[in-house]
Amino acid sequence: MTNDENERRSFSWLKAFGHSVAWLLAFLVPSLGFSIAGVVDARKAGEFSAGFMVVGLLVGWLWSFARQRGRATSAAVWLFILIAMSAYQVFVLAAAAGSRMESMESLQAKPPVVLSSRSGGVLCQHDFGLKLPLAGVSVTLAPELATTLAEKNPNDAVARWVYRAGADIVVLLAARGFDSKKSLQNFMDGARGTASNRNVQANGSLDWADGYGTILLSFDQGEAVRANMRCISNPDGKLACIQTISSASDPLAGLRQRLELSPCP
């Protein structure tokens, strides 16, 4: 039997396919991990990682081919390329996560301001495109409360502003990267989990249609206090939320319904 025939016999297409799929998954997992954690835009992470997965599938097969044929030098070269690609992918995703955190910190420093309009005051954040018609509700910024909330959730990539509305509290949140139903589900599950850890029962619902999402959450704080949240997202991945903490009569229910993701006047 010739050496060529020996080599053909020792090569397994099934094993090569398995190696290719394993490398594809190696490039898929970081993308999913960063997306699920909510620290990068899920759509952009997917688009960025798709090229790595396709190339990883091909180069993974070449690595397996060289490895099975006993071509140590070629196998080492292909393996080096795969490792370098993987390291570069994780580096870029980590850098994107870091820049997102920085952008949220920059946004945090620019709280929505009250603008006058024909229909009354409007709370606006120009850079993000968050708008909240107040319809007669008077609010004042409460940065000390925002600091307290940030200390409880130090790692979330969210801009958060807190206002007082008389004896009630209004919390506005803004974040990016919520361009899928799954990302919104993760957000809602995270909010429920946080509430559960504090012995607070949370009930919620999620609606998704044509890239636009709505989350409704209510938190059982006892008979004297009512805490509710409404979040909306758009196809650009922007997420805006309003949470109100008020008396049991829920006087700010109408305010939650007026939250918009649209340019300020």
- Write down the mean pLDDT value for the chain: 79
Report the candidate in 180, 105, 168, 117 with the shortest Cα–Cα distance to residue 139: 168
pTM for the whole thing?
A: 0.61
**Mean pLDDT, residues 78-86:** 80
Sheet order of strands, 113-117 included? 113-117, 120-125, 130-133, 260-261
Higher-scoring residue by pLDDT: 232, 32? 232
Rounded to 5°, angle at Cα 213 from 209 and 214? 120
| Per-residue pLDDT tens digits for 51-68 | 878 888 888 888 888 888
Q: What is residue 37's predicted lDDT score, i.e. its pLDDT?
A: 62
Domain with CATH 3.40.1000 in the chain: 110-261
The pLDDT confidence band at residue 5, using thresholds 50, 70 and 90, is: very low
For residue 220, the surrounding DSSP H or E stretch is strand 212-220
| Per-residue pLDDT tens digits for 198-219 | 677 788 899 999 999 999 988 8
**Mean pLDDT, residues 1-29:** 73
The pLDDT confidence band at residue 261, using thresholds 50, 70 and 90, is: very high
How many angstroms separate the CA atoms of 164 and 137, rounded?
10
- Least reliable range by pLDDT among 148-162, 188-202, 219-233: 148-162
1.10.10, 2.60.40, 3.40.1000, 3.40.630: CATH of 110-261: 3.40.1000
CA dihedral over 93, 97, 99, 100, signed as positive or negative: positive
Report the candidate in 238, 255, 259 with the shortest Cα–Cα distance to residue 127: 238
The pLDDT confidence band at residue 151, using thresholds 50, 70 and 90, is: very low
